[in-house]
Amino acid sequence: MAKEEYDVIVVGGGPAGVISAVTARNYYPNKKIVLIKSVGQGVIPCGIPYMYCTLQKPEDNAMGNAPLEKNKIELVVDEVTTIDRKAKTVKLKAGKELGYDKLVLAVGSEPIVPPINGLDNKGVYPIHKEMGYLKAMKDKVVKAKSALIIGGGFIGIEFADELAGIKDLKVRLVELLPNLLMNSFDPEFGQQVEEKLKAKGVEVICGKKVQEIKGKEKVESVLLSDGSELPVDLVVLGIGALPNVKLAKDAGLDMGRGKGIWTDEYMRTSDPDIFAVGDCAGKRDFFTRKNLPVMLASTATAEARIAGANLFQLKVVRENKGTIAIYSTYVAGLVLGSAGLTEDTARKEGFEFAVGTAEAPDKHPASIPGANKVKVKLIFSRQSGILLGGQVSGGMSAGEMINIIGLALQQRVSATELETLQMATQPHLTAPPTMYPLVVAAQNVINKL
């Protein structure tokens, strides 16, 4: 059977795959590029929770093919079953073989299915990124009387916030750890989310484990570690995901020390003609070089831009940066952002640090209508004065404030530099210049360094 030859094959139709292909086109205008995706109708991953109330219809969250068409990238909907590294070909489920010069694996992740009895009951929903599945799930959720979400990370809290808007649906959220969002925020921030969810009628249960999901034909109740049993008719699994590495493992690529595919700083796997980006690729922490289980569309696209540019030549020097955990979320009008290390992780990793905090209105004077309180916490290395991490909560503007902190981390900015930062302030848009919280938090820490 004649095989078709490509300069670049990208496997995966999520943000990592699409941006790899688009960036490759931008840097290498004459190459023949194809993107292979297994899911005919994908969705925008971060938008999944919002397919219930915020968006008018699930289709509004569809991942379109316009960027591929616009950039003359061929599209094949099929599953890649094997990679032949010697022949430099991939085999598709339908039988066809395609040849590559450079291959990009952007095959994503699979939701974690925890070791809980009864997960095979009808009415238990892991989050798969496929339109048909998610629409069917929505149909069930809106008809349910009571839903229980397992996991108090980003997916869990955003689902809880959104499902709380469905009429006559009782929403519960169970988190094993003592606070919400503990992997990315210190407790005082997670507690703000808990208050917001409770005010919206969500029953938040922290510090307890789901022991068993009970039911005959379908979910009927959930048994918690304290022996209590909650009647529910639907369970959402929001406890994270694991890198999808089967294809890479079968092809003999290195896995490194973590759970994802090993790559160098330019997203090249142990085979220099194969790149891996996004959730399927391993991450190394910016500060420690340890493996970092971060799976974010924004990280994925940053990696995809590096891979796409560097496919045939190393054009974009990455300066050995590693990955920073950088997140934002929105719950019932409250915005939270976190970047870099939390106080908790800094302590666990053995950093000597000092913490600066600040609070200010996000408009000024604070009597301007719509003003919210913004809280900032910055963590600095005590000796070197370098920013290690930051957290922020507030109104809508906090969503971009965390990106100021993110840039400051990536530039290894010091407390002194932040303390004398020149920034734009405006009554409708920011805290007053006298109280700009990133500056004041830096100033607050200076005496402690």
Interaction residues for its own copies, span 339-368 (CB under 8 A): 339, 364-365, 367-368
Angle at 48 between CA 202 and CA 13, to 5 degrees: 160
Minimum distance from residue 309 beta carbon to its own copies (Å)? 8
Q: Does 403 bind its own copies (CB under 8 A)?
A: yes
Give SS3 for 78. Answer: coil
CB nearer to its own copies: pick between 121 and 291? 291
Task: Give the C-alpha separation, 242 to 244, whole Å.
Answer: 6
Q: How many residues bind its own copies (CB under 8 A)?
A: 82
Among 4, 31, 67, 128, binds its own copies (CB under 8 A): 67
Task: Give the C-alpha separation, 59 to 63, whole Å.
Answer: 9
Say if residues 274 and 253 touch (Cβ distance below 8 Å). yes
Q: Does 306 bind its own copies (CB under 8 A)?
A: yes
Among 337, 361, 385, 437, binds its own copies (CB under 8 A): 337
Q: Does 319 bind its own copies (CB under 8 A)?
A: yes
CB nearer to its own copies: pick between 275 and 436? 436
Task: Give the C-alpha separation, 161 to 193, whole Å.
Answer: 10
CB nearer to its own copies: pick between 94 and 396? 396
Among 329, 342, 391, 393, binds its own copies (CB under 8 A): 329
8-state DSSP, 399: H
Among 41, 54, 291, 357, binds its own copies (CB under 8 A): 54
Q: Does 228 bind its own copies (CB under 8 A)?
A: no
Q: Does 258 bind its own copies (CB under 8 A)?
A: no
Q: Does 55 bind its own copies (CB under 8 A)?
A: yes
- List, in order, residues 6 or more apart from 16 with CB less than 8 Å away: 106, 108, 277, 278, 279, 297, 300, 301, 303, 304
CB nearer to its own copies: pick between 11 and 398? 398
Task: Give the C-alpha separation, 221 to 215, whole Å.
Answer: 7
Q: Which stretch binds its own copies (CB under 8 A): 1-9, 188-196, 312-320, 345-353?
A: 312-320
Q: Does 277 bind its own copies (CB under 8 A)?
A: no
DSSP string, 336-353: EEEEE--HHHHHHTT--E
H/E element, 327: strand 326-331
Distances (CA, A) of 201 to 168, 223, 332, 343: 11, 21, 11, 30
The neighbour count for residue 396, using CB atoms within 10 Å, is 12
Say if residues 127 and 111 touch (Cβ distance below 8 Å). yes
Among 117, 225, 383, 411, binds its own copies (CB under 8 A): 411
Q: Does 425 bind its own copies (CB under 8 A)?
A: yes
Q: Does 183 bind its own copies (CB under 8 A)?
A: no
Residues 8-47 that bind its own copies (CB under 8 A): 15, 18-19, 23, 26, 44, 46-47
Q: Which stretch binds its own copies (CB under 8 A): 60-68, 86-94, 190-198, 249-257?
A: 60-68
CB nearer to its own copies: pick between 111 and 322? 322
Minimum distance from residue 226 beta carbon to its own copies (Å)? 33
Residue with tokens 């405006």, as numbered in its chain: 426
CB nearer to its own copies: pick between 311 and 401? 401
Angle at 38 between CA 237 and CA 104, to 5 degrees: 100
Minimum distance from residue 250 beta carbon to its own copies (Å)? 29
CB nearer to its own copies: pick between 123 and 437? 437
Among 326, 341, 378, 445, binds its own copies (CB under 8 A): 326
Among 335, 341, 354, 388, binds its own copies (CB under 8 A): 335
Q: Does 288 bind its own copies (CB under 8 A)?
A: no
Beta strands in 22-117 (DSSP E): 33-37, 74-77, 80-84, 89-92, 97-105, 109-111
Say if residues 307 and 299 touch (Cβ distance below 8 Å). no
